[in-house]
Amino acid sequence: MSLRIIFMGTPEFSVPTLSALAQTGHKIVAVYSQPPRPGGRRGLELQKSPVHQAAELLGFPVLTPPNFKDAADRQAFKDFDADVAVVVAYGLLLPEAILNGTRQGCYNGHASLLPRWRGAAPIQRAIMAGDRETGMMVMRMDKGLDTGPVALTKIVAIAPDMTAGDLHDRLMLAGAGLMTEAMEKLDGGNLPLVPQSENGVLYAAKISKAETRIDFTKPAVDVHNHVRGLSPFPGAWLEVEIGGKLERVKVLQSALAERSGPAGTVLSDDLTVACGEGAVQLTRLQKAGGKPLPAVEFLRGTPVAAGTRLA
């Protein structure tokens, strides 16, 4: 036997799962993705999402409704006569008409150990909170926000210096294998479903611009987690005087250092900066419009002397 699958996803994170399912004996009858958005060098050209591009290369029909408010879009979904919908970072809350629009419902690949970090930014929030592990979960979706029963789990360790980008890639690949396994079990009628615990619920709110600035008054471990949790995007940042004016600089990597001093003060010529408790060494930085550079290369063009106060 094989399943008739509708795949729903948008970013790069979703592509390995689509590719993995395409290599199984199941039939992908349609792919849904977010509509093309302005992009390109000048932000004027409409850019298809990574999933949209991958689906076209694989020969699957792609649909990009902005939402499912239109009855015709809901009916088109139902008309695919699918057994199941697989959802990985699609980017829309699905209405009940879609959740119930296939014979066996919708299954979501979510990048956290639910019920911890329900919501939009589980990868970043896990690192920023200093979590030592996270994972991928396949759950059957219901009308709540990441509240459905869990089918399968894959735990992934978070190393002390791992960035959100590193963890994204680990979870992306883990999720592809996990969802493939889930569909095999679903097809065989032996996919377990366990209700989520009501304890330990945390919400991973979308990262706001207001929280990306580095606050050196916090303990060094919190600053370090902040930097790696926002790397490479959107990037934690600080301001430093360059050519007589303050400019914004992203910090993409850091390391804990055993130093102390007034918070925000550069303690040495290798960009070790004092925090509220302890210190961090800033090891990879990026000026606006520039490319990411190791600290030693950044300092060649932008000297930051010991004693400088960083804002």
**Residue numbering of the annotated binding site for (6S)-5,6,7,8-tetrahydrofolate:** 112-115
Task: Calculate ∠ Cα 95-97-102, nearest 5°.
Answer: 120
Query: What does the alpha-carbon distance between residue 219 and residue 205 come to, in Å, rounded to a whole number?
Result: 22
Strands (DSSP E) contained in the chain are 4-9, 27-32, 37-39, 45-47, 62-63, 84-88, 106-110, 118-119, 133-140, 150-157, 203-204, 236-242, 245-257, 272-274, 279-287, 293-294
Tell me the two tokens of residue 97.
């008409």
Parallel/antiparallel/unpaired status of strands 279-287 and 272-274: antiparallel
- The long-range contacts involving 55-60, CB below 8 angstroms and separated by at least 24 positions, are 55/7, 55/18, 55/31, 58/18, 58/19, 58/22, 58/28, 60/7, 60/22, 60/28, 60/30, 60/31
Q: Which residues are annotated as a binding site?
A: 112-115
